[in-house]
Structure 1
Amino acid sequence: MLSLLSSLLLACSNTAEYKVPFYTDASYTPIWKIDAQAKNNLNHIAPFRFTNQYGRTFSSEDLKGKIYLANFFFTTCKGICPKMTNNIKKIYQHFEGNPRVLFLSHSVTPEIDSVAKLKAYADANDIHTPQWELLTGKATEIYNLARKSYFVEEANGLSKDSTEFLHTENIVLVDKDGHIRGLYNGTIALDAERAIEDIDALLQE
């Protein structure tokens, strides 16, 4: 009995409450309190390897120790993508020059969005920074990463495959350990402000 009580007290003492919640699955149910062991077993973003707007390889290895926002777009999009890009730019401007914060924009039409197209899009939107990667690669890999790892379409995405077009305004925040910590509507300015607050909090962890 004493041993059980000691174990429970130890578990409680190892449990921490976070200012920014964790999300472990497509339901995006927030977890505010978690112990160290459970934290280590949380969902991690799967490894990936893509090509950026400069023709250089960018992979999950480049994200070790980094906090980042991930979104999915295409260069010919005239609807939600321009709004999303503009709101991400506001977030970027807040963290400009901070190498601990990165931004990843994955093309959902990689068969169209070549390196040259991504570079032209970056130039047109004044994206000239090593902190913001525009990424292209195999469509199947991008779609699976978006739906099965970032849960960017939330629960609806789990039943879809790489033949179904991916188009979402959601932006995902990932911490330095590869855990999902936020989901935001990229077309809403208030959500951009919320993302800034959450990233500021993660920088203090």
Structure 2
Amino acid sequence: MYQTVFLKISLYVLIVCSLACSPKQPKEQLPYYNSPDFTPVFLAAGEDVTKTIPHTIDSFSFTNQLGNNITEQTVDEKIHVANFIFTRCASICPVMTKHMKMVEKEYATDNNLVILSYSVTPWIDSVNRLKEFAEQNKITSSNWHLLTGNKAEIYNLARRSYFAEEDLGFTKDSSEFLHTEHVLLIDKTKRIRGIYNGTLQLEIEQLIKDIKVLRDE
């Protein structure tokens, strides 16, 4: 009997030691996206991000639903999520807004997560109209900015910085209407780390998980 007990204890100690000595699992890593074709780039340990991934979100200056000026400094050293909507959209935008509210709810108390929803019809979506839209959709987070401003600047930022329409964006100018279901995840260095279909709940659930990965980087 004592021998059996001793063997069980010895086996238990051996298992614990094995687990303690086994190498730790590597942290989950999100890719970088450096080009409009969204080819994922994974960096090796110690690799220089600034040299390998030169593309970052450009500077910008727009107005939110409260009349406040929002610039690239608003998202300095913060993770941000970007999408492109318009308040009169009756197709994909209501679904996208509903799904973005999942992100708002999940990170309601996190001031290091910012949501930027750029209007693609800024000539219609005035500050007052965006405020009404926010109220209608119960958008209450101080970190969710519905943005309006110069059309050409919004379109250029969308296509050339966020790659909102992938490689097609480089063949279009600001006279061609921008309408996309893409939601972009941007890290604290303003580099693109994820692209999601904002009309699909499963993809937004993945976005929420990926934000947690970035927070741990």
TM (norm. structure 1) is 0.89
| Alpha-carbon distance, 1:38 to partner | 3.7
Q: Deviations over 1:64-107 (max 9, x none)?
A: 11101000000000000000001111122111110011100000
Instruction: Give, in whole Å, the separation in 1 of the partners of 2:163 and 2:180.
Output: 11
1:167 maps to which of 168, 176, 179? 179
Residue 34 of structure 2 is matched in structure 1 by 24
Alignment of 1:63-74 (within 5 A): 63-74=75-86
* Distance across 1 between alignment mates of 2:114 and 2:124: 24
Asked whether the equivalents of residues 18 and 33 of structure 1 are also in contact (C-alpha less than 8 Å), the reply is no
For 2:91 and 2:145, locate their aligned partners in 1 and report how far apart those are by CA, in whole Å: 21
CA shift, 1:39, in A, is: 0.7
| Correspondence for 2:147 among 112, 126, 135 | 135
Is the partner of 2:42 in helix, strand or coil? strand
Instruction: Tell me the percent identity.
Output: 44
Q: What is the rounded CA distance, in whole Å, between the counterparts of 2:44 and 2:37 in structure 1?
A: 18
Equivalent residue, structure 2, for 1:200 = 212
Q: What SS does the aligned partner of 1:105 have?
A: strand
One of 130, 141, 147 as aligned partner of 2:159 = 147
Distance across 1 between alignment mates of 2:160 and 2:153: 10
In 2, Cα distance between the equivalents of 1:38 and 1:144?
A: 28
Aligned-residue CA RMSD in angstroms? 1.4
Specify the code of the residue in structure 1 equivalent to 2:43.
K
Cα deviation digits, residues 95-135 of structure 1 (max 9, x gap): 11100111000000000000000000000000112110000
Q: Secondary structure at the match of 1:198?
A: helix
Larger radius of gyration: 2
Aligned residues: 190
- After TM superposition, the structure 1 = structure 2 runs for residues 99-138 of structure 1, keeping only pairs within 5 Å, are 99-138=111-150
- The 3-state SS of whatever aligns with 2:29 is strand
Question: Cα distance, 1:179 vs. partner?
Answer: 0.5
Give the Cα–Cα distance (whole angstroms) in 2 for the partners of residues 151 and 31 of structure 1: 15
- How far residue 35 of structure 1 moved from its aligned partner, in angstroms, is 5.7
- Structure 1: state its 5+ residue gaps: 1-15
2:28 and 2:213 in contact (8 A); partners too? no
Secondary structure in 1 matching 2:135: helix
Amino acid at match of 2:210: D
Amino acid of the structure 2 residue aligned with 1:52: N
Distance 1:196 1:119 in 2: 25
Q: Which of 42, 46, 49 does residue 39 from structure 1 map onto?
A: 49
Q: Which has the higher strand share?
A: 1
The one-letter code sitting in structure 2 at the alignment partner of 1:25 is S
The alignment's TM-score, normalised by the length of structure 2, stands at: 0.85
Unaligned runs of 5+ in 2: 1-25
